Structure 1
Amino acid sequence: MKTQWSAALLVAASGVAYAQSSVTLYGIVDAGVSYYNHATTSGGSSVGIPFLTGEVPSRWGIRGTEDLGGGYKAFFVLESGFQPGTGQLNYGGRLFGRQANVGVSSDYGSVTLGRQMNMTMYALTNADVIGPSIHSMASFDPYIPNARSDNAVGYLGKFHGFTLGGTYSFGRDAAGPAGPAATNCAGQVAGNFVACRQYTAMLAYDSASFGVAVSYDVARGGAGASPPLNNSAYTDTHNIVDGYVILGPTKVGAGWVRNNLAAATHLQYDIFFAGATYYATPALYFDAEGVRYLQRGPAGKNDASSTLLVGRVNYLLSKRVTVYTSVGYMFNSALAANAVAAGGTVGTGMDQLGVMLGLQQKF
Structure 2
Amino acid sequence: METNLKHQHQRIRRAIALLLAAPALAMAQSSVTIYGLLDTGLVHTTNVNAAGDSVTKMPSLTGSFPSRIGFRGAEDLGGGLQAIFTLETGLGVDTGGMGQNRLFGRQASVGLKGSFGEIAFGRQINMTYLATQKSDVMGPNLFSISSIDLYLPNARSDNSIFYFGRFNDVVAGATYSTGRDTSAAGGPAGTNCPGEVAGNAKACRQVTGLLGYETKPFGVTASYDILYGNTGAANGLSSSDNSDKRLTLNGYVMVGAGRIGGGVVDRSTRAATGLQESDLYYLGVSYPVHPLLTLDTQVARKNVKGSDADATLLVARLTYYLSKRTAIHGSLGRMKNSGASAIALDAGGTVGVGKTQNGVVAGLRHSF
Structure 1 regions of 5+ residues with no counterpart?
Answer: none
- Which of 27, 33, 50 is equivalent to 2:42? 33
Residue 231, structure 1, aligned to residue 239, structure 2: yes
Q: Which amino acid is the alignment partner of residue 172 of structure 1? A: R
* Distance of 2:248 and 2:109 partners within structure 1: 25
| Aligned counterpart in structure 2 of residue 209 of structure 1, from 217, 223, 228 | 217
* Aligned position for 1:309: 314
CA contact (8 A) 2:142 2:347 kept: yes
Letter in 2 for 1:207: T
| Residues 1:44 and 2:53 aligned together | yes
Q: Determine if the alignment matches structure 1 residue 344 to structure 2 residue 349.
A: yes
Shift of 1:226: 1.7
Distance in 2 of aligned mates of 1:64 and 1:160: 25
- Counterpart amino acid of 1:317? L
Paired residue for 2:184, among 162, 176, 187? 176
For the pair 1:148 / 2:153, whether they are aligned, the reply is no
The equivalent residue for 1:101 is 109
Equivalent positions of 1:70-219 (< 5 A) are 70-91=79-100, 93-219=101-227
Q: Give the AA of the match of 1:39.
A: V
1:328 CA drift (Å)? 0.6
Partner of residue 367, structure 2:
362
Identical aligned pairs, as a percentage?
45
| Deviation (angstroms), 1:149 | 0.4
Residues 1:318 and 2:323 are matched in the alignment = yes
Distance 2:27 2:149 in 1: 46
Measure how far apart 1:181 and its partner are.
4.0
Shift of the alpha carbon at 1:152? 0.3
Q: For structure 1, which segment, 173-182 or 34-43, has the greater mean C-alpha deviation from structure 2 after superposition? A: 173-182
Paired with 1:309 and 1:327, the residues of 2 have a C-alpha distance of 8
1:17/1:78 CA distance change after superposition, 3 Å: closer
1:198 and 1:140 mapped to 2: Cα distance? Answer: 22
Aligned to 1:330: 335
- Residues 184-235 of structure 1, C-alpha deviation per residue, up to 9 Å, x if partnerless? 1001111111110001000011112001000000101011212411111111
Letter in 2 for 1:231: S
Superposed CA deviations along residues 242-268 of structure 1, whole A, max 9, x for unmatched, are 100011111000100011001221111
Secondary structure of the residue aligned to 2:97 is coil
Structure 2: distance between partners of 1:358 and 1:262: 39
Distance (whole Å) between structure 2 residues aligned to residue 177 and residue 294 of structure 1:
29
Query: Alpha carbons of 1:230 and 1:177: their partners in 2 closer, same or farther (altered >3 Å)?
Result: farther
Residue equivalent to 2:4: none
RMSD (Å) for aligned C-alpha atoms: 2.1
8 Å contact 1:18–1:67 — kept in the other structure?
A: no
Amino acid corresponding to residue 212 of structure 2 in structure 1: A
Distance in 2 of aligned mates of 1:136 and 1:247: 22
Query: Which among 276, 281, 293 is matched to residue 267 of structure 1?
Result: 276
Asked whether the 8 Å contact 1:256–1:271 carries over to 2, the reply is yes
Q: Which has the larger radius of gyration?
A: 2
Distance 1:24 1:329 in 2: 39
| Letter aligned with residue 239 of structure 1 | L
**Poorly superposed stretches of 4+, deviation over 4 Å:** 1-7, 16-19
Structure 2 SS opposite 1:313: strand
CA contact (8 A) 2:186 2:234 kept: no
Q: Secondary structure at the match of 2:163?
A: strand
Identify the range of structure 1 (315-324 vs 178-187) with the bigger mean alpha-carbon deviation.
178-187
Unaligned runs of 5+ in 2: 1-6
8 Å CA contact 1:119–1:217 kept in 2: the answer is yes
Of 215-224 and 170-179, the range deviating more from structure 2: 170-179
The alignment partner of 2:283 has SS state of: strand
1:61 to 70, 82, 89: 70
Report the counterpart of residue 287 of structure 2 in structure 1: 278
Alpha-carbon separation, structure 2, partners of 1:322 and 1:58: 14
Question: Is the 8 Å Cα contact of residues 177 and 226 (structure 1) preserved in structure 2?
Answer: no
Aligned length: 357
With 337-346 and 174-183 compared, the bigger mean Cα shift is at: 174-183
